[in-house]
Amino acid sequence: MSQPAAFSTRPSDADLRGEAALRRRYRAPQSAHTGNWNEALEAILSHRSVRNYLARPLPEGTLELIVAAAQSAPTSSNLQAWSVIAVEDPARKARLAGLAAINRHIEQAPLLLVWLADLSRLRAIAEANGRAGEGLDYQESFLLAVIDAALAAQNAVVAIDALGLGSCYIGAMRNHPREVARELGLPPETVAVFGLTVGYPDLLAATDIKPRLPQAVVLHRERYQSAPHPDDLAAYNQTLRTFQQEQSIPVVDWTEMMSNRIGSTAALKGRDRLGDALKALGFKLK
Amino acid sequence: MSQPAAFSTRPSDADLRGEAALRRRYRAPQSAHTGNWNEALEAILSHRSVRNYLARPLPEGTLELIVAAAQSAPTSSNLQAWSVIAVEDPARKARLAGLAAINRHIEQAPLLLVWLADLSRLRAIAEANGRAGEGLDYQESFLLAVIDAALAAQNAVVAIDALGLGSCYIGAMRNHPREVARELGLPPETVAVFGLTVGYPDLLAATDIKPRLPQAVVLHRERYQSAPHPDDLAAYNQTLRTFQQEQSIPVVDWTEMMSNRIGSTAALKGRDRLGDALKALGFKLK
């Protein structure tokens, strides 16, 4: 039986779900093509960081699936200049949590993945082929390895969400890179770029989806537009204030929060020494 | 009606599809948890770079959906230290293709996204709040912006695949960072980290899924294991040789190809000057 004519201009289910996902992400008008909405897009758009985990262990083979997703990410020239260390030992997790000064959810999560920019493997391969591997001595190669690691990790994050699990990046793994390297037995020319906690989210402590800047602020057409429009920033400040109130977290303008986060060397919590640490870890950074 | 007993140990459809995806990715035995297989995992595991596009334009609103996916990626401290420039003008695409020395598929693709590590927006916000933003002067902040850009871009890549479109990263956007910055009118403290071509794949010229290193090479447990096992590298060399033969591309061991790629400064195609270029573009990198 065909649809009654009155329903013929009704938006499709796909459109409705897509539009809802966009509304949750921006809390502001944002149109986009939602006609091919599907589970993958739903998983991506509805991502949130999980900082409260159940004690429940991961099903066997979950780590291997996450790593397969990570390895499916693009990698520059197929160099695959990254590695990942799966940390499950509670004592080691606790020590790494201490180094990151983020104790609770690193200790709670059954799995901590530490993602490495890894030039050591390529150095060993070059040397086994009678080459010094001098291309590795440049800022470019370090950057390439960082990007490879980030692309791999983000594929892992989407896969984790698609499995109904949750995750949270730990940038604070860069607060003490040398100590982290010692704890994980890293060879020269490898560094922990960030950590990622993984586990079953405690839905009783779930946070809402964090709204992002209006697209007009991050998306440019053809050439870089000038500084962000004050109205866009004011609107985002207001959107985030509503979010902060709902989540019962301190209410402060995003522009002020960001200014504090980048306003002083002290706010980097030791990461101002990252350049020195990278050299100590063997990166040449020419 | 219940299933006949003889079928009770038959693997589920999910398992069969998941196992097939793993076989395509590794072409070697690799077990993983595949019981919750779904469209998102399928999109992630079956990714391939697309270098042949149809002339067909993208549906209206596709760019906005891709950017919404990108903005849904995690970002360190919600700093959102990235921007993206959508280039559709054929003349500008051709000029950028020339700078990357990758003409065909950048010119073919209806859309070229150029992903930026962007500290300029945060600098402007800090200054508007009466702060110098000295936290931006460090290697750490540059790195954070690169990571933010990479996480956002990879979310875009998964969304693009989920929409039945294709993409390919253009790392060669780092070959001439100053010229790219001029072409795109970038302010100080922004740099093109990589490009991404986007379009409908020409399925008549589709490549197969590229096999990756055995998991044992990239996945470490608790601590970094020693150098990769020669047997694993030999097996991967053989797997890639089969792939190369099938794709009618030059047949060469991966270990040799990588040794050449990183074996000399010349092989970096100008990216050895990236460190200097970053400073010229205004990054302090303390």
| Rg from Cα positions in chain B | 22
**In angstroms, what separates the C-alpha of B132 from chain A's closest C-alpha?**
6
Evaluate whether residue B1 is within a structural domain: no
* B210 CB within 8 Å of a chain A CB: yes
Name the helix (H) or strand (E) containing B241: helix B230-247
- Specify the pLDDT at position B8: 58
Cβ of A194: how many Cβ atoms within 10 Å?
A: 25
pTM: 0.96
Evaluate whether residue B219 is within a structural domain: no
Among A40, A140, A271, whose Cβ lies nearest the Cβ of B138? A271
User: Are the C-beta atoms of residues A173 and A114 closer than 8 Å to each other?
Assistant: yes
Amino acid present at B45: L
**In angstroms, what separates the C-alpha of A131 from chain B's closest C-alpha?**
6
Interchain CB distance below 8 Å, B218 and A263: no
Residue B7 has pLDDT above 90, yes or no: no
A37-88, pLDDT tens digit by residue? 999 999 999 999 999 999 999 999 999 999 999 999 999 999 999 999 999 9
* B145 CB within 8 Å of a chain A CB: no
Question: CA B251: distance to chain centroid?
Answer: 24
* B7 burial type by CB count under 10 A (0-12 exposed, 13-18 middle, 19+ buried): exposed
* B285 burial type by CB count under 10 A (0-12 exposed, 13-18 middle, 19+ buried): middle
Contacts of A105 (CB under 8 A, 6+ apart): A50, A51, A52, A53, A168, A197
Evaluate whether residue A24 is within a structural domain: no
Dist. CA A237–CA B177, nearest whole Å:
33
A220-248, pLDDT tens digit by residue? 999 999 889 999 999 999 999 999 999 99
CATH code, A96: 3.40.109.10
Residue B6 has pLDDT above 60, yes or no: no
User: Are the C-beta atoms of residues B40 and A159 closer than 8 Å to each other?
Assistant: yes
CA angle A220, A222, A224 (to 5 degrees): 50
Residue range B198-223: mean pLDDT, rounded = 96
Cβ of A90: how many Cβ atoms within 10 Å?
A: 10
Task: Name the residue of chain A whose CA is nearest to B223's CA.
Answer: A184
Share of chain A above pLDDT 70, in %: 97
Query: Considering only CA atoms, which of B42, B165, B29 is closest in space to residue B109?
Result: B165
Q: Residue B168 is part of which domain span?
A: 39-202
Interchain CB distance below 8 Å, A78 and B129: no
Amino acid present at A134: E
Query: Considering only CA atoms, which of B102, B96, B135, B235 is closest in space to residue A77?
Result: B102
* A185 CB within 8 Å of a chain B CB: yes
Q: How many CA atoms lie within 13 A of A50 on its CB side?
A: 26
Evaluate whether residue A109 is within a structural domain: yes
* Positions in chain A short of pLDDT 70: 1-8
What order do you get walking across the sheet with B190-199 strand by strand?
A219-221, B82-87, B111-118, B190-199, B166-170
Evaluate whether residue B11 is within a structural domain: no
Evaluate whether residue A6 is within a structural domain: no
**In angstroms, what separates the C-alpha of A263 from chain B's closest C-alpha?**
4
Size of interface A-B (CB pairs under 8 A): 398
Share of chain B above pLDDT 90, in %: 91
User: A283 in helix, strand or coil?
Assistant: coil
- Specify the pLDDT at position A8: 58
* A227 CB within 8 Å of a chain B CB: yes
B222-272, pLDDT tens digit by residue? 999 988 999 999 999 999 999 999 999 999 999 999 999 999 999 999 999
Contacts of A157 (CB under 8 A, 6+ apart): A47, A167, A169, A196, B73, B74, B151
Evaluate whether residue B224 is within a structural domain: no
CA angle B212, B33, A159 (to 5 degrees): 65
The domain tally of chain A equals 1
What is the DSSP secondary-structure string of A47-58?
Answer: ------B-SPPP
Structure tokens at B42: 């399928």
Residue range B135-148: mean pLDDT, rounded = 97
What is the DSSP secondary-structure string of A199-263?
Answer: E-B-GGGPPPPPP---HHHHEEESS--SSPPHHHHHHHHHHHHHHHHHHT-----HHHHHHHHHS
Evaluate whether residue A23 is within a structural domain: no
φ/ψ (deg, to 5) at A183: -60, -35
**In angstroms, what separates the C-alpha of B4 from chain A's closest C-alpha?**
28
Query: Considering only CA atoms, which of B38, B24, B69, B42 is closest in space to residue B198?
Result: B69
Among B120, B124, B139, whose Cβ lies nearest the Cβ of A275? B139
Contacts of A187 (CB under 8 A, 6+ apart): A120, B224
Q: What is the DSSP pairing of strand A166-170 with strand B219-221?
A: unpaired
Cβ of A55: how many Cβ atoms within 10 Å?
A: 10
- Specify the pLDDT at position A2: 46
